Amino acid sequence: MARLNIVDAINLALHQEMERDERVVVLGEDVGRNGGVFRVTVGLLEKFGENRVIDTPLAESGIVGTAIGMAVYGLRPVAELQFMGFLYPAFDQLISHAARIRTRSRGRFHCPLVVRMPYGGGIKAPEHHSESTEAILAHTPGLKVVIPSTPYDAKGLLISAIRDPDPVIFLEPKKVYRAIKEEVPEEEYTIPLGQAKILREGGHLSLFSWGAMVPPSLKAATLAQKEGIEVEVIDIRSIYPFDIDTIINSVQKTGRAIVVHEAARTCGFGAELVAQINEKAMLYLQAPVERITGFDTVFPLLKAEEYYLPNENQIIKEIKKVMTF
Partner 1 sequence: MLSLLGKYDPLKGEMAQILDKDGRIVNPDLEPKLSNDDLKTLYRFMVLSRVADDKALKLQRQGRFGTYAPVRGQEAAEVGSAYALPRSDWMFPTFREMAAMVVKGMPLESVFLYWMGNELGNAAPEGVNIFPISIPVGTQPLHAVGAAWAAKIKGDDVATLVYFGDGGTSEGDFHEAMNFAGVFQAPTVFFCQNNQYAISIPRARQTAAKTLAQKAIAYGFAGVQVDGNDVLAVYAITKEAIAKAHAGGGPTFIEAYTYRLSHHTTSDDATRYRTKEEVAFWEERDPIKRFQVYLQGKGLWADDYEKGLLDEVTQLVDKATDKAENWPAPSPEDVFKYTYAEMPWTLKEQLAKLLETLG
Residue from the set 33, 47, 73, 266 that interacts with partner 1 by CB under 8 A: 73
Residue from the set 11, 16, 41, 56 that interacts with partner 1 by CB under 8 A: 56
By beta-carbon proximity to partner 1, the closer residue of 279 and 306 is: 279
We find the least distance from the C-beta atom of residue 7 to partner 1, in angstroms, to be: 26
Provide the mask over 144-173, with x wherever binding to partner 1 is found by CB under 8 A and - wherever it is not: x-------------------xxx-------
- Tell whether omega for the bond before 241 is within 30 degrees of 0, i.e. cis: yes
* Active-site annotation holds for 129: yes
Q: How many Å apart are CA 61 and CA 81, to the nearest integer?
A: 10
Residues 183-242 that bind partner 1 (CB under 8 A): 194, 240-241
Residue from the set 12, 45, 70, 236 that interacts with partner 1 by CB under 8 A: 70
Burial of 98 (0-12, 13-18, 19+ CB in 10 A): buried
- Taking alpha carbons only, the member of 279, 296, 294, 289 closest to residue 319 is 289
Residue from the set 101, 213, 236, 257 that interacts with partner 1 by CB under 8 A: 101
25 binds partner 1 (CB under 8 A): yes
Which range, of 99-107, 226-234, 262-270, 302-310, touches partner 1 by CB under 8 A?
A: 99-107
Residue from the set 15, 30, 42, 61 that interacts with partner 1 by CB under 8 A: 61
89 binds partner 1 (CB under 8 A): yes
Residue from the set 21, 46, 109, 298 that interacts with partner 1 by CB under 8 A: 109
183 DSSP β-pair partners: 3
Q: How many Å apart are CA 80 and CA 40, to the nearest integer?
A: 10
Residue from the set 11, 82, 93, 250 that interacts with partner 1 by CB under 8 A: 93
Which range, of 28-36, 140-148, 178-186, 249-257, touches partner 1 by CB under 8 A?
A: 140-148
By beta-carbon proximity to partner 1, the closer residue of 194 and 300 is: 194
We find the least distance from the C-beta atom of residue 68 to partner 1, in angstroms, to be: 5
What does each C-alpha distance from 33 to 23, 29, 213 come to in angstroms?
21, 10, 32
DSSP codes joined into one string, 2-60:
EEE-HHHHHHHHHHHHHHH-TTEEEEETT-STT--TTSTTTTHHHHH-TTTEEEPPS-H
- Taking alpha carbons only, the member of 275, 273, 267 closest to residue 246 is 273
DSSP codes joined into one string, 84-102:
GGG-GGGHHIIIIIITTHH
Residue from the set 6, 68, 137, 158 that interacts with partner 1 by CB under 8 A: 68
**CB under 8 Å to 110, separation ≥6 — which residues?**
71, 72, 101, 102, 165, 166
We find the least distance from the C-beta atom of residue 243 to partner 1, in angstroms, to be: 9
115 DSSP β-pair partners: 79, 169
Count the Cβ atoms, other than its own, within 10 Å of residue 226.
Answer: 8
Q: How many Å apart are CA 17 and CA 159, to the nearest integer?
A: 7
By beta-carbon proximity to partner 1, the closer residue of 65 and 151 is: 65
Catalytic residue among 97, 129, 204, 261: 129
Q: How many Å apart are CA 164 and CA 193, to the nearest integer?
A: 9
By beta-carbon proximity to partner 1, the closer residue of 43 and 165 is: 165
Which residues of the chain form contacts with partner 1 (CB under 8 A)?
Answer: 25, 51-52, 54, 56-57, 59, 61-62, 65-75, 89, 92-93, 96-97, 101-110, 141-142, 144, 164-166, 194, 240-241, 244
Q: Catalytic residue numbers?
A: 129
